[in-house]
């Protein structure tokens, strides 16, 4: 996202040497252990801090503050951190900075209870949170100081399995924010979205919700807000048709670590953990290989996968000279602290076989300087197997081309396997960054997402700034619940941004002409053209077929230049600059 209010903001950050020195300093600090700490605690590396309730609150607070001092404004920095809380009660304040994941390690969010401020703050002037990315809060309960938790966020900010014993606001003092995600959460009080431009909530419960701006989507939510599209711009789907909640790390009363892989849920509403723990299976931690960025390569990781291990990536940046190949059914691949897989020499960072039950969660895929044909490929080209009973699933899987360094990738995520579930993704060709990493001919990428498999379901699809179609859907039976896309800011002229004779630009969402069934709910497409004389003919292109259906679409021209001529095909009418006219379509066809 990159609102015109924001501009191109560059942040200073400490170099890698300083970060390593800092992390090692934290790693050697020792405190008394509590009841729930195993003698054989896994080695998660120096960037994972593990807290237990017997530690002095001041000592915990000191470590949290040191992490935040590095990550508060480090939008394109190299540090990655995970803050892990063993079951028990804590009285601390937790500011959550960039590339920081805060995790409770209990079977239920109520196993870890924090009394104090847990908050995400805006990082731009005038309380602007449109650049607040890559941070997470998962698996614990909060009694917020003053009764209200502040969570001012935009893209790539998972908020999962949380219990807020009070209210929550999704902005900072009325400043702009630009999209976010809630799932499997219980909010005892009310949610105030304020100027949030768009939002998706899935399988969440609350006392009430207030606010709607451009595109608010609620799937399987109990006590969803009143009203319906287009006034207010609210989309409600009573039940989530099929989903697997994200796997999570946990510790039992004896100090044994495991990963809970939740069971598949169908036609569900509300949280998964009402009866205590989320239903599913536990995989002991010794069946995981814990990868380290200072030790491992694609070769060492692939060797462990070949032995039948699942993967847990410790926080850090993994510079890959080959593809990580996930070939066995039911393999779980998880990242802690926004572990980042950097594709070098034009390789794909990761691929999977066309097998049942692979789960990929909590990873950031980053393009390297040589063009990669794809960053993550789910199933090989031509995959034909069905996986309806045990689908492949992706959770909080994020992609970046440019921003921290120049990067190139033809396609970011390509899904060839049928029945795949994508549960929250931000696929981003950077519109701003550091180190001369952004430009029409610098961070090049054609497509964010290409779907070739059938019956693929996506919740929370954020795809932005790609140079051709943001999304290309070739498979039948696809379903998308919430779509947010800014088209590229930087086409230098119309000739550089023309997909076919008589068609200006590339649609943000393209359903191929041969597709006979598809359905999507809650789509917002926005333009911020930096150069004059550039327009987009239509936001969405789809075949005219009664089984290709769209519900609740909006287009917005945020800046002073250009327009989007129609919402979908030749329907909806044109935007006007500076958010003066925002065309909406309720149903198509």
Beta pairing partners, 319: 342
The conformation of residue 420, written as its DSSP 8-state character, comes to -
To the nearest 10°, report the CA torsion of 552, 558, 562, 564: 0
Q: Which helix (H) or strand (E) holds 550?
A: strand 548-557
Long-range own/partner contacts, residues 306-310 (CB < 8 A, 24 or more apart): 310/259, 310/283, 310/334
The conformation of residue 196, written as its DSSP 8-state character, comes to B
545 preceded by cis ω (within 30°)?
no
Half-sphere exposure in the Cβ direction for 229 (13 Å, CA)? 23
- How does pLDDT run across 163-181, given as a tens digit for each residue? 999 999 999 999 999 989 9
Q: What is the mean pLDDT of the chain?
A: 93
Q: Which of 36-45, 164-173, 189-198 has the lowest mean pLDDT?
A: 36-45
pLDDT at 26 over 50: no
**pLDDT tier for residue 40 given thresholds of 50, 70 and 90:** low
Percent of the chain with pLDDT over 90: 93
- How does pLDDT run across 467-482, given as a tens digit for each residue? 999 999 999 999 999 9
Mean pLDDT of 232-255: 97
CATH of 310-588, one of 1.10.1740.10, 2.60.40.1180, 2.40.10.480, 2.160.20.10: 2.160.20.10
Beta pairing partners, 280: 262
Q: What is the pTM of this model?
A: 0.94
Q: How far is 417 from 420, CA to CA, in rounded Å?
A: 6
Q: What are phi and psi of 274, to 5 degrees?
A: -60, -35
Instruction: Name the 3-class secondary structure at 301.
Output: helix
Q: Which helix (H) or strand (E) holds 64?
A: helix 57-71
Active site residues: 486
DSSP character string of 6-38: T---------HHHHHHHHHHHHT------SS--
- How does pLDDT run across 436-468, given as a tens digit for each residue? 999 999 999 999 999 999 999 999 999 999 999
CB crowding 44-82: b at 16 or more within 10 Å, else e: bbbbbbbbbbebeeeebbebbebbbebbbbbbbbbbbbb
Q: What are phi and psi of 72, to 5 degrees?
A: -55, -45
Residue carrying the six token digits 């969010």? 109
pLDDT at 15 over 60: no
- For 20, the token pair is 């390593």
Instruction: Name the 3-class secondary structure at 494.
Output: helix
Q: How far apart are the first and last CA of the chain?
A: 29
- How does pLDDT run across 244-301, given as a tens digit for each residue? 999 999 999 999 999 999 999 999 999 999 999 999 999 999 999 999 999 999 999 9
**pLDDT tier for residue 12 given thresholds of 50, 70 and 90:** very low
Return the ∠ at Cα 231 (arms to 228 and 234), rounded to 5°: 40
- Helices 57-71, 16-27: crossing angle, 10 deg rounding: 170
Mean pLDDT of 12-26: 32
pLDDT at 212 over 90: yes
Q: Is the dihedral of CA 492, 554, 396, 121 positive or negative?
A: positive
pLDDT at 231 over 90: yes
To the nearest 10°, report the CA torsion of 342, 345, 346, 352: -60
pLDDT at 579 over 50: yes
- How does pLDDT run across 309-338, given as a tens digit for each residue? 999 999 999 999 999 999 999 999 999 999
Q: How far is 401 from 388, CA to CA, in rounded Å?
A: 32
Q: Is the dihedral of CA 22, 63, 404, 175 positive or negative?
A: negative
| C-beta atoms surrounding 337 within 10 Å | 30
In this structure, are residues 278 and 260 in contact, taking their beta carbons and an 8 Å threshold? yes
- How does pLDDT run across 334-377, given as a tens digit for each residue? 999 999 999 999 999 999 999 999 999 999 999 999 999 999 99
Percent of the chain with pLDDT over 70: 93
- How does pLDDT run across 86-128, given as a tens digit for each residue? 999 999 999 999 999 999 999 999 999 999 999 999 999 999 9
pLDDT, position 21? 30
DSSP character string of 333-391: EEESTT-EEEE-TT--SEEE-S-TT-EEEEEEEEE-SSPEEEEEEES-TT-----TTS-
Instruction: Name the 3-class secondary structure at 69.
Output: helix
- How does pLDDT run across 405-421, given as a tens digit for each residue? 999 999 999 999 999 99
Give the residue extent of every domain in the chain.
16-190+199-244, 310-588
Distances (CA, A) of 363 to 77, 311, 350, 457: 16, 12, 11, 19
In this structure, are residues 160 and 138 in contact, taking their beta carbons and an 8 Å threshold? yes
- For 464, the token pair is 């932005």
pLDDT, position 41? 82
In this structure, are residues 259 and 285 in contact, taking their beta carbons and an 8 Å threshold? yes
Q: Which helix (H) or strand (E) holds 298?
A: helix 298-306
């Amino acid at each position: 996202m990159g609102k015109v209010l924001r501009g191109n903001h560059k942040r200073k950050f400490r170099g890698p040497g300083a970060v390593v020195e800092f992390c090692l300093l934290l790693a050697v600090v020792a405190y008394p252990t509590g009841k729930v700490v195993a003698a054989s605690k896994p080695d998660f590396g120096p960037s994972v801090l593990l807290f237990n309730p017997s530690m002095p609150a001041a000592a915990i607070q000191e470590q949290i503050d040191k992490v935040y001092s590095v990550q508060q404004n480090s939008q394109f920095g190299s540090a990655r951190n995970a803050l892990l809380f063993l079951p028990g009660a804590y009285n601390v304040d937790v500011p959550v900075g960039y590339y920081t994941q805060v995790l409770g390690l209990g079977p239920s969010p109520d196993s870890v209870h924090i009394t104090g401020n847990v908050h995400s703050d805006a990082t731009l002037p005038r309380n602007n949170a449109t650049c607040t990315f890559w941070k997470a809060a998962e698996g614990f309960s909060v009694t917020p100081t003053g009764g209200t938790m502040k969570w001012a966020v935009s893209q790539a900010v998972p908020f999962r399995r949380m219990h807020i014993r009070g209210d929550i606001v999704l902005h900072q003092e009325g400043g702009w924010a630009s999209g976010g995600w809630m799932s499997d959460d219980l909010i005892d009080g009310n949610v105030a979205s304020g100027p949030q431009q768009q939002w998706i909530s899935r399988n969440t419960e609350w006392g009430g919700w207030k606010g709607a701006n451009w595109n608010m989507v609620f799937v399987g939510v109990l006590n969803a807000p009143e009203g319906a599209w287009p006034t207010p711009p609210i989309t409600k789907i009573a039940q989530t048709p099929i989903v697997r909640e994200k796997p999570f790390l946990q510790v039992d009363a004896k100090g044994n670590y495991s990963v809970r892989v939740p069971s598949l849920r169908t036609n569900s509403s509300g949280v998964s953990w009402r009866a205590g723990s989320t239903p599913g299976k536990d995989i002991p931690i010794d069946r995981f290989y814990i990868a380290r960025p200072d030790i491992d390569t694609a070769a060492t990781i692939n060797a462990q996968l070949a032995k039948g291990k699942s993967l847990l990536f410790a926080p850090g940046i993994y510079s890959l000279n080959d593809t990580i190949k996930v070939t066995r059914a039911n393999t779980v691949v998880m990242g802690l602290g926004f572990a980042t897989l950097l594709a070098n020499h034009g390789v794909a960072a990761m691929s999977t076989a066309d097998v049942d039950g692979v789960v990929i969660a909590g990873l950031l895929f980053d393009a390297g300087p040589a063009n990669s044909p794809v960053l993550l490929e789910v199933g090989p080209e031509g995959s034909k197997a069905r996986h309806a009973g045990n689908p492949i699933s992706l959770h909080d899987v994020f992609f970046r081309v440019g921003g921290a360094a120049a990067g190139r990738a033809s396609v970011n995520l390509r899904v060839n396997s049928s029945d795949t579930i994508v549960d929250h993704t931000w696929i981003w060709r950077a519109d701003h960054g550091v180190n001369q990493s952004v430009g029409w001919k610098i961070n090049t990428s054609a497509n964010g997402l290409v779907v070739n498999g059938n019956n693929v379901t996506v919740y929370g699809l954020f795809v932005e700034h790609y140079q051709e179609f943001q999304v290309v859907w070739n498979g039948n039976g696809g379903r998308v619940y919430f779509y947010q896309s800014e088209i590229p800011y930087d086409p230098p002229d119309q000739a550089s941004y023309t997909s076919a004779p008589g068609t200006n630009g590339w649609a943000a969402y393209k359903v191929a002409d041969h597709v006979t069934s598809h359905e999507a709910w809650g789509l917002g497409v926005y333009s911020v053209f930096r150069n004059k004389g550039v327009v987009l003919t239509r936001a969405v292109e789809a075949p005219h077929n009664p089984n290709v259906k769209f519900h609740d679409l909006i287009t917005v021209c945020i800046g002073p230049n250009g327009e989007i001529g129609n919402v979908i095909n030749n329907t909806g009418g044109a935007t006007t600059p500076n958010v003066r006219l925002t065309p909406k379509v309720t149903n198509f066809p």
